[in-house]
Amino acid sequence: MIGTGKHGSRYAQHILEDVEGLDLVAISRRSDEGKVQAAQWACRLHTDWLDLVADPEVDCVIAALPPSLNRDVATACALAGKPMLLEKPMAVSVPEAITIHDLFVRQGVALTIGQTLRYNRVIRMLREQLASIGALYSFTANQRLEPATMAWLDDPSLAGSGVTFHSAIHVFDALRFITGQEIVRVMARIRCLHSSRLEDQLIALVELANGVIGTVDCSKIGPARSGRFEFIGGKGQLHGDQVHHVCELICGQQRLPLETSEPVSTIVPLLRDWLACLRGQQPNPIPGEEGVATVRVCEACLRSAAKGGWEEV
């Protein structure tokens, strides 16, 4: 595990407690907290991540890092022949994302992207039920989170971008996953409300390959959370909120709640599918090209915000 901060430590804990067949052999973290974690988790500590990649007992690597570091880490893993699970966003630009993806393909090494929202049970229910509302006419989606507290998320040299790459990327990928449609054009506006350099609010018009147009609203500006998706079709509407774990079908004036079962930590099923992929038991759950596709959408949003008007993805 390279990067055992707030998110990376979640991966580590799930490997230790919830995923049989994966062993946490080593971690890499530069701060003193790494020594505490390595002792707590009974694994080796490499202060230099290159040493972790070179460790002969490390078979595969998970990285949860500021995205500006991803290209170098991914390159080392690909050249070492070690499969990688790379947390989103996989890169800070389309050229970097393509470079990472193409290198893993050339080396014949598996690259998996941590688009964990695909494993949320509300998102899966929306995908399963979408056909029940007939032809899709429009949609709206949001992910509204509390203001960011980590300083590096407002540092262009580390984060690359604000909520577009660190929040909306989940929504764009979920829309692709639920509808089965690529996003082809966007028109976006961004603002900095609490942040100083990188946007903490994004609002975008989004056009799918089938011509359907909807809206996406992502922010880290208010004290309350939501993750709502609404789809309008020829036979009704389908609504769900992946944060509050509710889903419903609306026909006329009637609201029908849909049972989504208990919520799960989305990291756990991703890790289990990744392990099955590494063992050759199933396909790559979220291959590199999926990460490239979402980076393309995010970059198009930033171009649109800078230039005005529609931008092709």
Print pLDDT tens along the chain (313 aa): 999 998 999 999 999 999 999 999 999 998 889 999 999 999 999 999 999 999 999 999 999 999 999 999 999 999 999 999 999 999 999 999 999 999 999 999 999 999 999 999 999 999 999 999 999 999 999 999 999 988 889 999 888 899 999 999 999 999 999 999 999 999 999 999 999 999 999 999 999 999 999 999 999 999 999 999 999 999 999 999 999 999 999 999 999 999 988 888 899 999 999 999 999 999 999 999 999 999 999 999 999 999 999 999 9
Give 295: exposed, middle or buried? Use CB within 10 Å, 0-12, 13-18, 19+: buried
Q: How far is CA 82 from CA 60, 66, 103, 184, in A?
A: 5, 20, 12, 33
- Quick check: do 8-116 and 120-264+286-312 share a fold? no
Question: What is the reported pLDDT for 263?
Answer: 82
Is residue 300 within 8 Å of 312, Cβ to Cβ?
A: yes
- Cβ neighbors of 40 (< 8 A, separation 6 or more) are none
**Structure confidence at residue 197 (pLDDT):** 94
- Name 48's Cβ contacts closer than 8 Å, sequence gap at least 6: 28
CA angle 177, 183, 108 (to 5 degrees): 65
Q: What ranges do the domains of the chain cover?
A: 8-116, 120-264+286-312
Domain 8-116 in this protein, CATH class: alpha beta
- 120-264+286-312 folds as Dihydrodipicolinate Reductase; domain 2 (3.30.360)
Q: Residue 152 has what pLDDT?
A: 86
pLDDT reported for residue 205: 98
Measure the CA dihedral 298/7/193/202, to 10°.
20
Task: Report pTM.
Answer: 0.95
